[in-house]
Structure 1
Amino acid sequence: MKTTKLSAIVLAIALASGCTATQSNSDSAAPRNTASTSSNFPTATVTQEKNVALVTSANSGEQASLTLEQIMADPDWLGRQPERVAFAPGSNAIVYRQKQEGSILRDVFVTQADAASGEGNGTKVPLSQLHEMTYSQYIDDIDYDFVAWIYEGDVFAKKRGQQNSIQLTRDSAQARNLSYYKNDGVSFQVGNSFYSISANGDNYQQIMEWDFSEAPQAVKPAADYLAQEQLKLIEYVNVDRKNRQDREALAHAIKRENDAVMSAQFYFDKEHTNVTASLSPNGKYAIVVTRENRATRDDSDIMPDYIEESGRIVAKPVRQRVADAKPISHDIYLLDIEANTQRKISYVNLPGYNEDVLEAEKRENAEARGEKYVANRLPRDIGLLFGGYATEAPIAWHEDGQVAALMLEAWDNKDRWIVTLDAANDTSFETQHRMHDDAWVNYRFNQFGWIEDSKALYLLSEESGYSHLYVKPIDGKLKQITSGNYVVDTVKVSKDGTHAYYKANKKHPGIFEVYQTELATGDTQALTDLNGMTDFVLSPDESLLVLTHSKLTMPPELYVKSVDSDTEAARLTNTISDAFLSIDWKAPSIVAVPSSHTEQPIYSRVYLPENLNAQKRRAVVFNHGAGYLQNAHLGWSAYFREFMFHNLLISQGYVVLDMDFRASAGYGRDWRTAIYRQMGTPEVQDLKDGVNWLVDNANVDRNRIGTYGGSYGGFLTFMALFNEPDLFQAGAALRPVSDWAHYNLPYTSNILNTPDVDPLAYERSSPIYFAEGLNKPLLMNAPMVDDNVFFVDVVRLVQRLIELEKEDFETAIYPVEPHGFVQPSSWLDEYRRIHKLFETHL
């Protein structure tokens, strides 16, 4: 594909002063872009217009110098930004956490919407009042005259319109699974029991309990010949048996006929353990989910820790490897509490329940072994799906207490079902929605729930190619509410069930704004116009939005905005340090790099030095981690140290490219699944397009380009250096994956299946199989107490490189560091080595 010059394909130059963009209120319409690009996304021309003073007010004076020591220092020097923003229970008081300076501890602050001025950061909440401001779980249903929450394992409630809360429990038991109960109380789980209490603090009772053991029996059938003869010959034994039977019958009768006695006791396979449980709002039913109680890790799953207070080596337990994982199914039971009966719910009605969805992959692997594969239709392993933002549990009861909705997933990651269960009648599930993906179902977009005052569900699905909002009446057809080539995320449905609030990147892939859509008509309006990355929390009375907003050179701050007005969002907090503001940060351009393999461009951050055309430039390509992560957006990056490091590099004449290669988030299903069974192939193809773009558009010398990245970015550094040895002149792989068979189950099995089923996918995706291709300088930085990417990944690769008689590689180890470094000295040492690598070889 012919490349386009820089001036024609820059979509956004979002400077530290902020930016705005034209937008459309139509759900499907998008503004036309003045740039010529090949993109399935709506685009926007972004210009510098407003919010200038927010970031640049401190830049009018003398500029501070930027050093590697400053960049890698304790990040407190940047300022301590708001975290975990929420509203206080039953109130419009805005609550957030802020890190204590020089400590890992967080303080809680509270402020009000009318304090929005950007001058103050609220008031620190006294420790004695934390239970009024914070919670681990909060429930607020419009049908009840009180709200309730859990703080430190205890339950609290507050009547609407009142200031004071009521503490409902005060004990060492840890309450969880909080829910409304009947008309005037709440229920909660402690251990293997459900309890209820009224919102006034009275009528406390145990509703039910369960145990993983055999149900007690007063008498048992004779076990063998000797026992049979004993019953025939000894009258005393028979009298004792009758007495036990009579006592048991009386106990059952008392429990059945006396409401003062808790009667609901249930028993499950003693070889099983809990997955989760859920009690219906009317207290008549419960769902208990179990699984086989077997070890998920081996005794060899350990991590030696060499730097311990005791002076001795400690072997710490770590997670299981994907290569050792075995399929797990969940058993789902419906319990009738009043009748004291239970029934196991069947999966057989699920569409695709016994499909051989991996037939093509199994056949390819069998043929590679010289075998013939015979398709099978065995039942698939299925269980609850725990995932998705704001979905507290995969079980949601309708307010009538008769129907439950559940989200299920297949062990093979190819199917997600949303099903309902009529507690009074069903013995199997009724499928409301099946999301099938030949690659894997996205773990992120799995929100669902009931719409108030209706027998309808809302849900997110990627079936159109992008995450969108749908409504499904349980006796009607699926209706798509939002549509277009953009991503809908973090959905909040209004209490009256008429509207949905969500964030989406409609304007541009790298700009997330907040929107409101009417569910009945699909009419949509943008509630924010901030141009950056914006998250939101809706106030309990649904009148306010508290926004966590950032820009390319501005860390996150809180803003507040009225839902019903056209007023602009007002800044609420001001936590960015003067030291940070004193530096003249250079914002990257957001560029759509043309792809030679897809119609969509590869959105990228490009950092350009001054006097770009003065001479041929050297360049660095940064590879972000996590795989499924978006970094080429117009907000503050989670890679803030790298952002600062890139500013240092451009001050030294480098060009820096940071690509959202295929596999990255924010660009739809096809972009995400391009790496299915071939991790490292599409991404390196995209890196090649990035290098070509740098040479053609940024005056870069093709023979002076290096690359680096951590975690998934370290893996890509390996794959690029091993498989395209002429692409980069040097590379640094930080906390890198070298063999995916040693990584975890949830992430890896999505993309590569499991090694026992699809070894070909692991062999074509793991760098250790391609190490013979290395012929350029390689730096490997490896933390030794990394419980995410194990230290053994680097150890095994180093041994492989030694056996291949490779010369130009080196390894730096970090004895006290986990996957994400903590000590500033470690950060500094790591980036000194990276900088030295590039200075030496570029």
Structure 2
Amino acid sequence: MKQKLLFLPLLCIILIQAQAQSTLSVEYIMRDPAWMGTFPSNASWSDDSQTIYFRYNQDKDPADSLYKLGLAEKSKISKVTWKELKSNERDDQDFNADRSLRVYLWDKKLMLEDMGTNTSEMLIEWPENLGNPKFLANEQEIAFSSKSNIYIWNRATKSVRQATNISTGPKPKDKSKDEDKEDWLESENLELLSVVNERKEKAKMRKDYRDAFNESEDEEFVYYTDGKSPGNLQLSPDGKFATFSIYSPSQNKNTKVPDYVDASGYTVDLNARSKVGNEPTKVEIGIYDLHRDSVYFLSAADLPGITDLPDYVKDYPDKTWEEKERDVMFSSLNFSPDGKNAIVNIGSADNKDRWIAAVDLQTGKLTTLDRQRDEAWISGPGIGRSFYGGTLGWLPDNKHIYFQSEETGYSHLYLLDITTGKKKALTSGKYEVFSPFLSKDKKSWYLTTSEVDPGERHFYKMPVMGGKMEKLTSMTGNNDVSLSPDEKKLAIIYSYSNVPAELYIQDNKVGAKAEKLTSGQSEEFKAYNWRDPQLVKFTAEDGAQVPARLYKPDPAKSNGAAVVFVHGAGYLQNVHKWWSSYFREYMFHNLLTDLGYTVLDIDYRGSAGYGRDWRTGIYRHMGGKDLSDQVDGVKYLVASHGVDPERVGLYGGSYGGFITLMALFNAPDTFKSGAALRSVTDWAHYNHGYTANILNTPEEDPIAFRRSSPIYFAEGLKGNLLMAHGMVDVNVHFQDVVRLSQRFIELGKDNWEMAIYPVEDHGFVEPSSWTDEYKRILKLFNNTLLEE
């Protein structure tokens, strides 16, 4: 009788599995993505606003190509020919104020184009490579750079002159102190040979005479960089100042990644990144005063808070911390339209501060206009740290600057009057602003925001000094807009949760209807009824409302098991209403749901799209709230969706692989099995740019690294673990899982396995690799979550 009772649960599982079938399979969905169809990306416009260009693959080529669609015949999509592509290329272009003229470069030629007649003329052919052509404020002169100097072309005189005199060589030694110092051989020679001595004396007399005659003439000024190549050369719009950057690369030790399957048949070492904690590249910004023939550099010494220590020093009471000037990174100077003023973006090397400062061009002195301090790290949409870019510029009035800041906890657009220091928020609320830019007449803003919902993106128009935003797009999902040059039309790359991207066109008017221009889905792809996952929120242990995507099986097919998916990248959003970049995983979740699994995809703490506090919720403890959010997600599934708490697994890649390891090591009673793909196992071995933001450096904050690295918790493994990793991964190195494997061996763990992929980097490419990996993941879940 006892044997029969034990047999009944297993029989029920077998019956459920027999009923839960899918028309999908791993082999089917992990094929070359071309089977799904072709989907447009990167829309742009022709100068006359009559043609839309976009990346596409209508002809089933090995890779996407540039296609075009004319407004006069919208049904005709054609590939752009190589000849047409080359004839329309405009390298390093710049427009005059009313955009009637464009200057650009073409094969060592400086070209000027009349936008009204669409005709170009060659201004000058140069013997060296050219760069950064710019109209000066008078629009009669055009500056460009070549071989570490700036030159100016005058349209009226049709002549060119050199504006700067920079030499990358060493500064010549001052010989005046050595004129009377001959070495022994010279002295001996002159003493023995009287004729040679007389000739030298006469030559010296002639030189002294010439020097006396020419003493009123100024010596030509040259600035020597002593072997360093200046970059980002630019001339102020009024032509009075030039600026440049001097880079001092860090001398960090790079790592090597062995490639065991190189075509040569030999093992080849691939050069890869350095590790966290190394010295950053240093950037100096020089100002070249063309009238005073002098060069001076910006200094961060007087920035407010430049010596501030981070809050985490309190966790190290036995260590002596020196208050010293922190290293910073400068952006290039950003000149006002008239060239009379300039601003610079400055980021601290420890990622805690971002300053925007006015630059006194006569002295290089900085005056802070805005400081954003974050005890975690500065980031967020449109917020540039030093040379990383971001939203920053001038209004045409030459006194207002614009930028984005997370001052309120969400990234918004601001104006600041440099004459008064008064700052004004143009947008506000619990949403974020993306990619704002000025209209052609400079009277309005165009911007994308998440105001409707964190999972939607819409395009808006707003008065330049602020006011009501007009919502121009209406399709639910993601509206990636390219505005036509005449500002009459919107080209929209639009997608929804279960609908891949298509190209639409719409009039630039509120309430206008978008017209679909492409239909890229294959018949094979359309044959399956892809799910629209439900967007839900559950309550975390600290009371936060955590967003997630929920895939629910047919109740008749439900097997009581659940799989939690952990997206990668950390700072990334995957709970939204548009087609996911994780399209393979999305299709896999449809397969799992067909088979009776409940699937939950969480935007855990650290994810993008929800403001500053959500982004920095993992500061100094990766595997803290980002892990507890996964655990709380399982509690939600058990309480609200009938999931068996004994039948829960999770998986993810990169950061998702890291969380999978932390979950199996630190929450083994919640997760029975997991697949960790290309996972970080020790953050001290990852790169500096990403890791130092969140954990600082292992030398200065070892507490953060130790509590955040899975390798220190490997003894906690109880469930079943699959690790999968590409052997030529130059992002998260294969070394990570090798070290963890040795740790398992030493701990005597035998409930783990590893799949290695000899030809794969961090992002897999080969369909065979994707197929093998996901077959193993599915087998893991079927064997551990469905079988007793």
TM-score, with length taken from structure 1: 0.83
Aligned partners of 1:810 and 1:417: how far apart in 2? 49
* Aligned mate of 2:433, from 471, 474, 488: 488
Compute the displacement of 1:342 (Å): 0.5
Letter in 2 for 1:557: E
- Does residue 317 (structure 1) correspond to residue 271 (structure 2)? The answer is yes
- Does residue 840 (structure 1) correspond to residue 783 (structure 2)? The answer is yes
Aligned partners of 1:714 and 1:83: how far apart in 2? 29
CA RMSD, Structure 1 to Structure 2 (Å): 3.1
Compute the displacement of 1:715 (Å): 0.5
Instruction: Report what 2:588 is aligned to.
Output: 645
Compute the displacement of 1:274 (Å): 4.2
Letter in 1 for 2:253: R
* Aligned mate of 2:283, from 298, 305, 330: 330
Aligned partners of 2:326 and 2:514: how far apart in 1? 49
Letter in 1 for 2:323: R
* Aligned mate of 2:305, from 352, 358, 375: 352
Instruction: Report what 2:5 is aligned to.
Output: none
Compute the displacement of 1:206 (Å): 4.4
Q: Is the 8 A contact 1:211 1:267 kept in 2?
A: yes
- Does residue 398 (structure 1) correspond to residue 336 (structure 2)? The answer is yes
Q: Is the 8 A contact 2:504 2:515 kept in 1?
A: yes
Cα distance, 1:645–1:340 mapped onto 2, change above 3 Å: same
Aligned partners of 1:779 and 1:594: how far apart in 2? 29
Deviations 1:571-609 (Å, cap 9, x if unpaired)? 23332322222221111111112222143x111111111
Aligned partners of 2:80 and 2:727: how far apart in 1? 39
Deviations 1:282-312 (Å, cap 9, x if unpaired)? 33211112133442334xx211111111111
Aligned partners of 1:252 and 1:478: how far apart in 2? 54
Compute the displacement of 1:228 (Å): 12
Cα distance, 1:525–1:215 mapped onto 2, change above 3 Å: same
Cα distance, 1:645–1:124 mapped onto 2, change above 3 Å: same
Cα distance, 1:806–1:503 mapped onto 2, change above 3 Å: same
Deviations 1:702-735 (Å, cap 9, x if unpaired)? 1111100000100110111111111111100111
Q: Is the 8 A contact 2:344 2:357 kept in 1?
A: yes
Instruction: Report what 1:537 is aligned to.
Output: 482
Aligned partners of 1:484 and 1:610: how far apart in 2? 39
- Does residue 664 (structure 1) correspond to residue 607 (structure 2)? The answer is yes
Compute the displacement of 1:459 (Å): 0.6
Task: Report the secondary structure of 2:529's partner residue.
Answer: coil
Instruction: Report what 1:278 is aligned to.
Output: 234
Higher relative contact order (CA 8 A, sep 6+): 1
Task: Report the secondary structure of 1:208's partner residue.
Answer: coil
Deviations 1:243-287 (Å, cap 9, x if unpaired)? 78999999999998xxxxxx77422244x5545333222332111
Instruction: Report what 2:9 is aligned to.
Output: none
Deviations 1:814-837 (Å, cap 9, x if unpaired)? 111111111111111111111111
Q: Is the 8 A contact 1:304 1:313 kept in 2?
A: yes
Task: Report the secondary structure of 2:434's partner residue.
Answer: strand
- Does residue 78 (structure 1) correspond to residue 33 (structure 2)? The answer is no
Letter in 2 for 1:162: T
Matches within 5 A, 1:750-761: 750-761=693-704
Cα distance, 1:526–1:802 mapped onto 2, change above 3 Å: same
* Aligned mate of 2:82, from 98, 122, 127: 127
Task: Report the secondary structure of 2:306's partner residue.
Answer: coil
- Does residue 509 (structure 1) correspond to residue 509 (structure 2)? The answer is no
Compute the displacement of 1:841 (Å): 0.5
Compute the displacement of 1:806 (Å): 0.7
Identical columns (%): 37
Cα distance, 1:279–1:724 mapped onto 2, change above 3 Å: same
Q: Is the 8 A contact 1:92 1:541 kept in 2?
A: no
Aligned partners of 2:668 and 2:300: how far apart in 1? 50
Instruction: Report what 2:140 is aligned to.
Output: 184
Matches within 5 A, 1:555-594: 555-564=500-509, 566-594=511-539
Compute the displacement of 1:153 (Å): 7.5
Deviations 1:529-567 (Å, cap 9, x if unpaired)? 111012222222222222221101111122222224531
Task: Report the secondary structure of 2:285's partner residue.
Answer: strand
Aligned partners of 1:641 and 1:650: how far apart in 2? 14
Instruction: Report what 2:7 is aligned to.
Output: none
* Aligned mate of 2:444, from 486, 499, 512: 499
Task: Report the secondary structure of 1:702's partner residue.
Answer: coil
Cα distance, 1:649–1:426 mapped onto 2, change above 3 Å: same
Aligned partners of 2:437 and 2:715: how far apart in 1? 51
Larger Rg: 2
Q: Is the 8 A contact 2:170 2:225 kept in 1?
A: yes
Instruction: Report what 2:17 is aligned to.
Output: none
Instruction: Report what 2:351 is aligned to.
Output: 413
* Aligned mate of 1:267, from 208, 219, 224: 224
Compute the displacement of 1:108 (Å): 1.6
Matches within 5 A, 1:378-777: 378-385=324-331, 394-423=332-361, 425-442=362-379, 444-446=381-383, 447-476=391-420, 477-564=422-509, 566-599=511-544, 601-611=545-555, 616-777=559-720
Cα distance, 1:197–1:655 mapped onto 2, change above 3 Å: farther
Cα distance, 1:785–1:203 mapped onto 2, change above 3 Å: farther
Q: Is the 8 A contact 1:208 1:264 kept in 2?
A: no
Task: Report the secondary structure of 1:617's partner residue.
Answer: coil
Q: Is the 8 A contact 2:380 2:406 kept in 1?
A: no
Aligned partners of 1:727 and 1:774: how far apart in 2? 12
Q: Is the 8 A contact 2:111 2:120 kept in 1?
A: yes
Compute the displacement of 1:483 (Å): 0.4
Aligned partners of 2:607 and 2:344: how far apart in 1? 29
Aligned partners of 1:482 and 1:97: how far apart in 2? 33
TM-score, with length taken from structure 2: 0.88
